[in-house]
Amino acid sequence: MRDGRAGTLVATHAAVIAMLVAGACGAQHQGAEALALARDGQTGYRIAVAPDASAAERTAARELAAYLGKATDAEFAVGEPAEASGKVVIAVGPGAAKAMAPNLDLSKTGPTGLGDDGIVIKTVGTNLVLTGAEGSKRGTLYAVYEFLERVVGVRWWTHTEEFVPSRPTLTVGPLDARYKPPFLYREVFSWGMVQEERQWGYDDSDAAVQDWAQAEFAARLRNNGHGTSMPASLGGCYMPLGWCHTFYPFLPPDRYFKDHPEWYSEINGKRVGEHAQLCMTNDEMLAEFSRNVLTAIRKQPQLGMVVVTMNDWGGNCQCAKCKAMDEAEGSAMGSLLYGVNKVAEAVEKEFPEILVATHAYIYARKPPKTIRPRDNVLVWLCVIERSAPQPIDSDENRRLMEDLQGWAKAAPRLFIWDYTMNMSGPLTPHPNWQVFGPDFRNYRDHNAVGVFCEGESVSLTDFAALKVYLMAHLLWDPSQDEQALINDFLTGYYGTAAPALREAMRVFQQQVAKERLTWHQGPDAAWLDLPAMSRLTELFGQAERAVANDPVATTRVRRARLSLDHQWLQGYSLYRAQTERQKTPFLGPTAPPAAAADLAQRVRADMATWIPGAMTRGIPAFMGLSFDGYLDKLAKLATSATKVGPLPEAFRDTPRDRIIDMDEALVAVYPEAGATIIEDPRAANGLAILVPKRPQASWGAQAWTRHFGVLGGFGKYHVYAVVRCELQTDTGAAFVGGVYDYANRKGLGAVSFPIGKPAPPLTPEQVDANPEIRFATIRSGAPVTDGEYHVYDFGTYDLPHGDISVWVGSTTGDMFVDRFVFVREP
């Protein structure tokens, strides 16, 4: 569709792109030297494609004809070279190109080889050549897309939105570009491109495509990774056999462990078949593993790559042989690579062209000292521990950079598995666009030939569409200027809202510059302080006003601010408390329940269009909740923010400025532990956190000190929990709780409240003599006897920083948490 906003041509440092832009812009002034592809909506050019052209080459010809037609209003006929004899021609594909220019170098391999993805864009007299190498899979298609984007000015913003300029007269100057991308594998695993995550191969027929819009979008942005059902007509894609975490799929414990426990990890002197790994120095196991791998390859040898790598957890083998090898090599990758090399040796004997991929991941990320991957082994370095806002060569990511440098020297073939989203907060701001350019260039310069970006496959976070656009373009050509790409997207996609949004991006980036944000940061962007939230709200308001008469741009701006609106709801009580303490204007929502309902409606509408099926699907990003489930939880938080219940009577004489009161609006609730916010008429505000009975007490509800700097300051506090328990047994602990210092990895204290008979009632004289008693109807260690709310004393603790958690859990019955109360010591 044409949306009325022209994207500017991208200025870049890449010589090939500079040439294309110069050819497009300079052609208007070159008179006879220019190729007039169209004049006043008419054309004399025909598109030629060879009779033996591949399916992808025929797609390229159709795409070129369609988009040139949209831009010029001219009709570009497609036919064979013989039909275009005596006419001016756009030759698409190597067959048509060779018919026009027989001496053209279209080699796929060798010193000048273009591979499967390299492109040639060249004017030959009054004709134009758009092609890849002879026998290449995607080169011709990519040459057409590069020409349409860089010369014609077409933009594919998302899989549902594009821009085609109106150019009834289209002329281009002399062109002579030859380009091969440095990364042979390029994947942005994000919404708009991901249809399914496949493990064991795929059908490359057109009939198997689940979503043509996403498949075409991935091809147009030159992505060729496994997450999109890319048919042969779009050039196909790389699909490793097994994809990831294949130890147990190739050697399942339920089949082998009983007879061969020695094939699995030894942990604490015992062989373990559950939630463990394989004994990678056991040659008998490796022989069976290799047989199973070869059986799988024989079924799909065309895939070209098989993955042999650890399960997605720890538990590596500690037997004497594995341990000795790992200690000698200075890394658990020592024994792992020993075993992978053995499998690769067996694969090479039967399938010399097949690569064996393995992951340098978690416990085995560091390169070994002396063991080297075989020539047919591909190492996939997984930088899951990275901090997102800083580039990989920053001090924050120093150890990962050291491993990258080590693998660049050790591995004959190196891929990178990068992490570009917050998996536990798909609606949470995660500003990391500033690192894509530096990181991708760093990967290229350290010999990586493939990059997989595990991104927002089910996310509507801040500027998600821009991130996909930026990553894809930089993977294709990392030498491009990322700021120019960002400006191109902002101007073309958001129109006159671009200046305000560019400033909003700067505020996000400034706020996060020194923060450590991980792939599992959580849904609360607490690093956005109140001044930043207020400034961002002003900027998004400016952006909406700038496009008020443009409904398309308004929808796009409102989509971009989803994560800001989400953060106002996530941190509402905290931001409200800050404004009250600082006596500053509050720019957040005046009615949180209505704001939550509006947010939910916008998310559901966008999901239905962009990520079908995501609303009800269980999403690990929300710790087991679906999007629907998470939005329901958010609505309860919004309701809680407007329903602040009174403190228990026990605190009536305590000065309010000494109290930090944290109810469900400020307490972290963990659905993976079964915890959830429910309505409870017995709670002070009608809402409570349900922490269900578990065999082992889960830390389902936790009050963190990270907000203390705003709410009352760090220091020494007496800690209490207001809890009720539904007792299901007569003995044991009704519930347990404690205080844990995550920064120093140590518990500061724990308490257990047994089930028992009520303590004798206190006399008025006893209460007057010791006022502290009234803080808890049942003191710490005293029995729990009924299902009513009481104040439970956890003791006094030094709480000097923001990485301390007060937690509760239950093993004998469901418990309900009304709030945690912290009283600063005088």
Non-local (6+) Cβ contacts of 671 within 8 A are: 622, 623, 624, 625, 629, 633
- 59-63, 274-278, 369-373, 515-519 — which is least confidently predicted? 515-519
Model pLDDT, residue 199:
74
Q: What confidence tier does 425 reach under pLDDT thresholds 50, 70, 90? A: confident
Query: Among all chains, which residue has been given the structure tokens 């990485």?
Result: 803
Rounded to 5 degrees, φ, ψ at 419 are -125, 115
Non-local (6+) Cβ contacts of 152 within 8 A are: 24, 67, 68, 71, 165, 167, 170
Q: Report H helices in 643-751.
A: 708-711
CA distances from 540 to 190, 225, 394, 587, 611 (A): 24, 35, 31, 12, 24
Report d(CA 67, CA 73) in Å as an integer. 9
**Residue 671, SS3?**
helix
CB 317, CB 247: distance < 8 Å: no
DSSP one-letter string for 92-144: ESHHHHHHH-TT----SSSTT--TTT-EEEEEETTEEEEE--TT-SSHHHHHH
Rounded to 5 degrees, φ, ψ at 716 are -95, 125
Report d(CA 53, CA 612) in Å as an integer. 35
| Per-residue pLDDT tens over the stretch 226-260 | 888 889 999 999 989 998 999 999 999 999 999 99
**Residue 826, SS3?**
coil
Report d(CA 424, CA 420) in Å as an integer. 12
Mean pLDDT, range 668-690, rounded to an integer? 89
**Nearest CA-CA partner of 787 in 819, 763, 759, 758:** 758
Task: Compute the chain's Rg from CA coordinates.
Answer: 31
Model pLDDT, residue 485:
98
Rounded to two decimals, the pTM is 0.87
Higher-confidence residue of 21 and 46: namely: 46
Report d(CA 462, CA 545) in Å as an integer. 19
Strands 414-419 and 377-382, sheet pairing: parallel
Strands 35-38 and 170-172, sheet pairing: antiparallel
Domain regions of the chain by residue span: 15-180, 251-356, 649-824
Helix (H) or strand (E) holding 823: strand 815-824
Tell me if domain 15-180 and domain 649-824 are identical in fold.
Answer: no
Q: What confidence tier does 218 reach under pLDDT thresholds 50, 70, 90? A: very high
51: alpha, beta or left? (left if phi > 0; alpha if psi -120 to 50):
alpha
Query: What's 79-92 look like in SS3?
Result: ECHHHHCCCCEEEE
Higher-confidence residue of 309 and 580: namely: 309
Report d(CA 101, CA 94) in Å as an integer. 10
Model pLDDT, residue 440:
98
Residue 314 reports pLDDT greater than 70: yes
CATH says 649-824 is which class?
Answer: mainly beta
Report d(CA 152, CA 165) in Å as an integer. 8
DSSP one-letter string for 20-48: HHHHHHHGGG-GGGSEEEEBTTB---EEE
Average pLDDT, the chain: 89
Mean pLDDT, range 114-133, rounded to an integer? 97
Model pLDDT, residue 754:
83
**Residue 217, SS3?**
helix
| Per-residue pLDDT tens over the stretch 772-786 | 333 333 344 556 778
Model pLDDT, residue 695:
77
222: alpha, beta or left? (left if phi > 0; alpha if psi -120 to 50):
left
CB 309, CB 247: distance < 8 Å: yes
Kindly state the tokens that stand for 277: 């790994």
% of the chain with per-residue pLDDT over 90: 68
Model pLDDT, residue 533:
97
Report d(CA 92, CA 345) in Å as an integer. 41
Q: Position 301: which residue type? A: P
Q: What confidence tier does 118 reach under pLDDT thresholds 50, 70, 90? A: very high
Report d(CA 700, CA 50) in Å as an integer. 64
**CATH code for the part of the protein at 15-180:** 3.30.379.10
- 86-90, 730-734, 777-781 — which is least confidently predicted? 777-781
Model pLDDT, residue 772:
39
Mean pLDDT, range 114-141, rounded to an integer? 97
Mean pLDDT, range 453-462, rounded to an integer? 76
Question: Residue 305 pairs with which residues in a beta bridge?
Answer: 355
Report d(CA 686, CA 679) in Å as an integer. 6
Q: State the sign of the Cα–Cα–Cα–Cα dihedral 618, 620, 625, 631.
A: negative
Q: What confidence tier does 2 reach under pLDDT thresholds 50, 70, 90? A: very low
Report d(CA 211, CA 195) in Å as an integer. 7
CA distances from 468 to 149, 580, 753 (A): 16, 39, 51
Q: Position 433: which residue type? A: W
Report d(CA 263, CA 255) in Å as an integer. 12
Question: Residue 176 pairs with which residues in a beta bridge?
Answer: 122
CB 152, CB 74: distance < 8 Å: no
Query: What's 444-497 look like in SS3?
Result: HHCCEEEEEEECCCCCCCCCHHHHHHHHHHHHHCCCCCHHHHHHHHHHHHHHHH
Q: What confidence tier does 644 reach under pLDDT thresholds 50, 70, 90? A: confident
Kindly state the tokens that stand for 517: 């944000």
**Nearest CA-CA partner of 477 in 8, 10, 7:** 10
- 222-226, 742-746, 795-799 — which is least confidently predicted? 742-746
Report d(CA 261, CA 284) in Å as an integer. 12
Report d(CA 778, CA 157) in Å as an integer. 61
Q: Report H helices in 204-314.
A: 212-220, 247-250, 253-256, 283-299
Kindly state the tokens that stand for 191: 């919404």
